[in-house]
Amino acid sequence: MASLKDMRNRIASTKATQKITKAMQMVAASKLRRAQVAAEAARPFAERMDRVLGNIASAVAGSDSAPKLLAGTGNDKVHLLIVCTAERGLCGAFNSSIVRLTRERANALTNQGKQVKILCVGRKGADQLRRQYSSQIVEVIELRGLKTIGFENAAKIAENIVARFEKGEFDVATLFFSRFKSVILQVPTAQQIIPPVFEAAKAAGPAAAYEYEPEEEDILSELLPRNLSVQVFRALLENAASEQGARMSAMDNATRNAGEMIRKQTLTYNRTRQAMITKELIEIISGAEAL
């Protein structure tokens, strides 16, 4: 059995850990608000841009003059999986849920005879995927040290993806991230971005005829790379909010668990101390009676 001193040290260590987890919970709560506002502000623009491009793309669908980013290569043999995760841990199942979805997609594609390449944005996802797919990871982009994620960061990632596509390194690109719903709910999401898959717009009335100036192909050639940057930026903002929400929830659970451990350790300490005192009193009384 541990001595009373060891028990006191254990209780003090658990209390110190509880202070740390409580502080991390408060920091995550303060960061969550800003990250949530940024993610929610990016959604309407990204969705509207996706809808506009979908309308324009429908006008050139099947045309030989359609941009390559829209039409694709015509094959789907090589798939690039762009996995966006966090740079830090201690955020519950946030990173592992995205990696799990990526593994499921990679295994399904491999079983179909497809070639899989992985581009990791974030160190934690790369660390987990490297155990099984080390030879398939083509690059790891770290965002460590950034206080806030800017559009320029997403634009550089999008330029990297477009450059690889133009070199013929892959046929289909899919973006993996976590969509923020609430503090306790973050939804792992896979979104195909090359060639883009546009959601069918719900018509509220008769379809209107549009004339474009310049031509549809010219508009798409300009907007498709920008839309790629917008979708990557949206994914990074959703990830930032999801990470802070997951960390806040995880640290809250850790703080509660530490409190329960302190209660049990204190109870054990008091019982052990009382037993030792009782034992000493019995020994003193027994000794006095023997005299």
* Catalytic machinery residues: 91
CB atoms within 10 A of CB 265: 18
Reduce the DSSP state of residue 140 to 3 states and report it. Answer: strand
Element (H, E) at 189: strand 185-194
Beta strand residue intervals within 124-182, DSSP E: 137-141, 172-182
Q: Please report the sign of the dihedral spanned by the C-alpha atoms of residue 243, residue 249, residue 254, residue 259.
A: positive
The half-sphere exposure of 162 on its side-chain side, counting CA atoms within 13 A, is 21
DSSP assignment letter at 136: G
CA pair distance 155, 232, nearest whole angstrom? 8
Count of CA atoms in the C-beta half-sphere (13 A) of 287: 6
Laid out side by side, the sheet with 172-182 consists of 137-141, 115-121, 78-84, 172-182, 185-194
